[in-house]
Structure 1
Amino acid sequence: MNKESKEKGPKLVIIGGGTGSSVLLRGLKKYTSNITAIVTVADDGGGSGKLREDLGMLPPGDIRSCILALADTEPIMEKLLQYRFQEGSLKGQNFGNLFIAAMNEITGNFEQAVKNISDVLKVKGTVIPVTLENIILIAELENGEFVRGESQIPIVAKEKQQRIKRVFIDPSKVAPHQDAIQAIQEADGIILGPGSLYTSIIPNLLVDGLSDAISKAKGVKFYVSNIMTQPGETDCYTVIDHVKAILNHVKYSNRNSMVEYIIANNGSIPEYLLQKYREDGSTMVIYNNDKRLKKYPYSFIVDDFVEIKKDYVRHNADKVARIICNLIKEKKLAKEELSFTGSII
Structure 2
Amino acid sequence: MSFKKERYEPKVVVVGGGTGLSILLKGLKEFTKNITAIVTVADDGGGSGVLREDLGMLPPGDIRACMLALANTEPTMEKLFQYRFEEGMLKGQSFGNIFIAAMNGIYGNFETAIKESSNVLAITGKVYPMTLDNVRIKAELQNGKMVEGESYISIESTKEKSKIKKVSIDPEIPKPLPEAIESIKEADIIVLGPGSLYTSVIPNLLVKDIVEAIVKSPAPKAYIVNVMTEPGETDDYKVLEHVQAILDHSRDDLLNYVIANTQDVPIETLEKYIHDGSVPVKIQNSDEKTLAKKGITLIANSLIDIKKDYIRHDNINLSKLLVQLAKSRP
Q: Give the 3-state SS of the residue equivalent to 2:223 in structure 1.
A: strand
- For residues 289 and 190 of structure 1, the distance between their equivalents in structure 2, rounded to whole angstroms, comes to 27
Residues 178-327 of structure 1 aligned to structure 2 (within 5 Å):
178-250=178-250, 254-256=251-253, 258-290=254-286, 291-327=289-325
Alignment check: 8 A CA contact 1:5 1:32 kept: no
Letter in 2 for 1:330: S
Could you say what the CA RMSD is over the residues aligned between the two structures, in angstroms?
1.2
Q: Which residue of 2 aligns with 1:151?
A: 151
Residues 60-71 of structure 1 aligned to structure 2 (within 5 Å):
60-71=60-71
Q: Which residue of 1 aligns with 2:92?
A: 92
Letter in 2 for 1:208: K
TM-score when normalising by structure 2: 0.96
- For residues 214 and 48 of structure 2, the distance between their equivalents in structure 1, rounded to whole angstroms, comes to 28
- For residues 126 and 327 of structure 1, the distance between their equivalents in structure 2, rounded to whole angstroms, comes to 21
Letter in 1 for 2:21: S
1:79 CA displacement: 1.3
Letter in 2 for 1:280: D
Alignment check: 8 A CA contact 2:194 2:224 kept: yes
1:316 CA displacement: 0.3
Residues 76 and 248 (structure 1), Cα distance of their counterparts in 2 relative to 1, 3 Å cut: same
Q: Give the 3-state SS of the residue equivalent to 1:72 in structure 2.
A: coil
Q: Give the 3-state SS of the residue equivalent to 2:44 in structure 1.
A: coil
Alignment check: 8 A CA contact 1:228 1:283 kept: yes
Q: Deviations over 1:295-344 (max 9, x none)?
A: 3321111111010022110000000110111122133xxx3xxxxxxxxx
- For residues 312 and 144 of structure 2, the distance between their equivalents in structure 1, rounded to whole angstroms, comes to 34
- For residues 50 and 187 of structure 1, the distance between their equivalents in structure 2, rounded to whole angstroms, comes to 35
Instruction: Report the number of matched residues.
Output: 324
Structure 1 position 16 matched with structure 2 position 16: yes
Residues 68 and 5 (structure 1), Cα distance of their counterparts in 2 relative to 1, 3 Å cut: farther
Alignment check: 8 A CA contact 2:71 2:123 kept: yes
1:174 CA displacement: 1.3
| Structure 2 portions without partners, runs of 5+ | none
Q: Which residue of 1 aligns with 2:79?
A: 79
Decide which moves more: 292-301 or 169-178.
292-301
Residues 91 and 327 (structure 1), Cα distance of their counterparts in 2 relative to 1, 3 Å cut: same
- For residues 294 and 206 of structure 2, the distance between their equivalents in structure 1, rounded to whole angstroms, comes to 23
Alignment check: 8 A CA contact 2:263 2:302 kept: yes
1:225 CA displacement: 0.7
- For residues 220 and 40 of structure 1, the distance between their equivalents in structure 2, rounded to whole angstroms, comes to 22
Letter in 2 for 1:244: Q
Q: Deviations over 1:106-126 (max 9, x none)?
A: 111110010001001100100
Letter in 1 for 2:265: I
Q: Deviations over 1:39-84 (max 9, x none)?
A: 0110100100000000000000000000001010222211111111
- For residues 246 and 327 of structure 1, the distance between their equivalents in structure 2, rounded to whole angstroms, comes to 20
Residues 239 and 5 (structure 1), Cα distance of their counterparts in 2 relative to 1, 3 Å cut: farther
- For residues 293 and 39 of structure 1, the distance between their equivalents in structure 2, rounded to whole angstroms, comes to 27
Q: Which residue of 2 aligns with 1:53?
A: 53
- For residues 294 and 115 of structure 1, the distance between their equivalents in structure 2, rounded to whole angstroms, comes to 40
Letter in 1 for 2:308: K
Q: Which residue of 1 aligns with 2:115?
A: 115
Q: Give the 3-state SS of the residue equivalent to 2:328 in structure 1.
A: helix
Decide which moves more: 321-330 or 110-119.
321-330
Q: Which residue of 1 aligns with 2:25?
A: 25
Q: Give the 3-state SS of the residue equivalent to 2:165 in structure 1.
A: strand
Q: Give the 3-state SS of the residue equivalent to 1:106 in structure 2.
A: helix
- For residues 101 and 76 of structure 1, the distance between their equivalents in structure 2, rounded to whole angstroms, comes to 20
- For residues 40 and 34 of structure 2, the distance between their equivalents in structure 1, rounded to whole angstroms, comes to 20
TM-score when normalising by structure 1: 0.92
| Structure 1 portions without partners, runs of 5+ | 336-345
Residues 5 and 22 (structure 1), Cα distance of their counterparts in 2 relative to 1, 3 Å cut: farther
Decide which moves more: 103-112 or 283-292.
283-292
